[in-house]
Chain A
Amino acid sequence: MTKPAPLHKALADATFQAYREAVIRLPLDVLKVIGNAARDETNPVARGEFANILKNIKTAGELAVPMCQDTGVPVIYLTLPPDVPLTQELYDAVAEGVRRATREVPLRPNVVDPLTRHNTNDNTGLGMPAIHVKPGQKFTVTVLPKGAGAENMSRIAMLLPSQKDQIEKFVVETVYLAGSRPCPPIIIGVGIGGTFDGSAALAKEALLEPIDSMTEYEQQLLCAVNRLGIGAMGLGGDFTALAVKVKTAGCHTASLPVAVNIQCWANRHATVEVRR
């Protein structure tokens, strides 16, 4: 039998720490990609935007404050080792960590009822935090705080199996329609295959992949997107997007689901091992 109280505290603590880390410091692969783009950008106005972004990242780290005031909604990925059973307690512990992060980091209370718009003021609610669980060897919690500006620009399409060549157009169209709103330069998660909902989950998980390496297909999508010239913050420039990451899953022979999850330049996520 597991001991309920210590496990609860350990997971809540790990969730708090991962949330705090995620909103204050960017992962190394993300820093590298932003740094490279800042170096290579040729548009003078966009160069100013990159200068602000780099200064902001430094300031957030030095002052230990969130880099963006939209500290997002809590998207959580749990990896459970064989000896940790999936119980309601895990969900409660993650929610406790989110509430603590909201008070202590602090985070902006963003979670509301979708219809009454009543704010719970602690970033939890029905189905929030959004918790995804998979089996693994280590007991870890990953926090991906998702801001609304970029999330709102995400799209999904149920293409025909014969429309494989239309995937690129759908990705480019999604970025074109988003324009300046998702805080470019963006990172683009693409989920191809699975089911309607599954492709969207894949697109979000793709954002957790290292963005400092891309396949030929991902580079091709990135190149097509950057031809739009929307640039940093929509002011025009070479880098509308910094990276494209694609995840695929098997799908019905009559389907081709494609989901595009847009992320702002602050591709925030952090993983902490739960210390039992």
Chain B
Amino acid sequence: MTGTVVQLTTPLGDEVLRLKAGDHVELSGIVYTARDEAHLRMREKGIPFDPKGAVIYHCGPVIQDGKVIAAGPTTSARMNELEGFLVDKGVRGFIGKGGMGKTVREQLKGKGVYLAFTGGCAALASSHMTLKGVFYEDLGMAEAVWAIELDRLPLVVGIDAHGNDIFEAARVHAEEVFKTSTTLSCQSRQ
């Protein structure tokens, strides 16, 4: 990480290919929320917005009186096997928390990025958001697809378009520590 913040605006193009895992970015422009149910419906019935360069936000927001009240990210891994058709149709980015699996990492190669937003930071998120529209409102508040305009939402590149994945690096490290740790490993340090 260089310490500089990259400015990005949707729809995204080839500029995403230059991003590296660990880069801090600020994203502006329209993004679309989608969780499990919305993914299933889009896969079956088609994408209700222009997917070219689009960014999907894994989020089930709290909306009241046409305003985004709270909109932090949900666990992206639930959608691990549901993103292929979106990337194929031109989606360039996913925002969420916790990272995604190998399938998505491979699908994003040469095409797009996974951007991590800090879990639980729903108030911070909503202070960077304006509600623009909604699809699939019958799925309920959490599962509907909300079109939201971002104004410089602070994110970090979790998975870049070259297969680098900082979540995976942290997971592998944790696995090594767990498999090699002896019981009561910290006792001697007291």
Contacts and interface: CB of A to CB of B under 8 A. Distances in A.
Interface string A126-143: 000000000000000000
B141 A108 contact: yes
A147 B120 CA distance: 10
Chain A interface residue bracket vs B: 35 or more
Interface residues of B, number: 55
B120 A264 contact: yes
Contact of B121 (A56, A106, A119): A56
Contacts of B185: 224, 227
B137 to A, nearest CB: 14
A219 B189 CA distance: 10
Contacts of A49: 118, 156
Contacts of B3: 44
B69 interface: yes
B183 A166 contact: yes
A69 interface: yes
Interface stretch (A80-88, A168-176, A199-207, A245-253): A168-176
Contact of B70 (A65, A227, A229): A65
Contact of A229 (B69, B127, B174): B174
A52 interface: yes
Given A66-B69, A168-B184, A234-B167, A265 B120 contact: yes
Interface stretch (B8-16, B40-48, B58-66, B82-90): B58-66
A266 B62 CA distance: 17
A235 B186 contact: no
A221 B24 CA distance: 32
Contacts of B18: none
A235 B175 contact: no
A107 interface: yes
Interface string A220-233: 11011001111111
A68 interface: yes
B190 A235 contact: no
Contacts of A266: 120
27 contacts: A44-B22, A52-B117, A53-B121, A56-B123, A56-B124, A63-B126, A65-B69, A66-B70, A66-B123, A67-B122, A67-B123, A69-B69, A108-B70, A119-B140, A220-B184, A224-B181, A224-B184, A227-B185, A229-B174, A230-B170, A231-B170, A232-B118, A234-B99, A234-B170, A235-B170, A237-B170, A264-B120
Given A44-B3, A234-B167, A265-B120, 6 more contacts: A68-B120, A68-B121, A69-B59, A176-B174, A220-B187, A223-B186
